[in-house]
């Protein structure tokens, strides 16, 4: 079964940068490589992705916590 997703790319992305696209849903967030949209997709639980973003915004790694 194919899942219809709406993908968005960061406004900070450009043709020269390695970037990813996100498809954000209520229960899950999917992540893919912009330059290889037909390649693999990483899908994670929305709560786990939220925790990841919160950690990234602090500038720390988990081992620093």
pLDDT along the chain (65 residues), means of 10: 79 73 93 89 94 87 62
Instruction: Give pLDDT, residue 48.
Output: 95
Under 8 Å between Cβ of 34 and 21 = yes
pLDDT of residue 41: 93
**Contacting residues for 52 by C-beta, under 8 A, at least 6 apart:** 44
Per-residue pLDDT at 64 = 59
Query: Is 0.85 surpassed by the pTM of this model?
Result: no
Q: What is the DSSP string of 8-52?
A: EE-TT--TTS--EEEEE-SSEEEEEETT-TTS--EEEEHHHHHHH
């Amino acid at each position: 079964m194919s899942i219809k997703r709406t993908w968005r790319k960061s406004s900070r992305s450009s043709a020269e940068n390695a970037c990813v696209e996100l498809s954000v849903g209520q229960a899950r967030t999917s992540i893919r490589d912009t330059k290889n949209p037909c390649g693999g997709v990483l899908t994670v639980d929305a709560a786990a992705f939220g925790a990841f973003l919160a950690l990234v915004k602090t500038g720390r790694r988990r081992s620093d916590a």
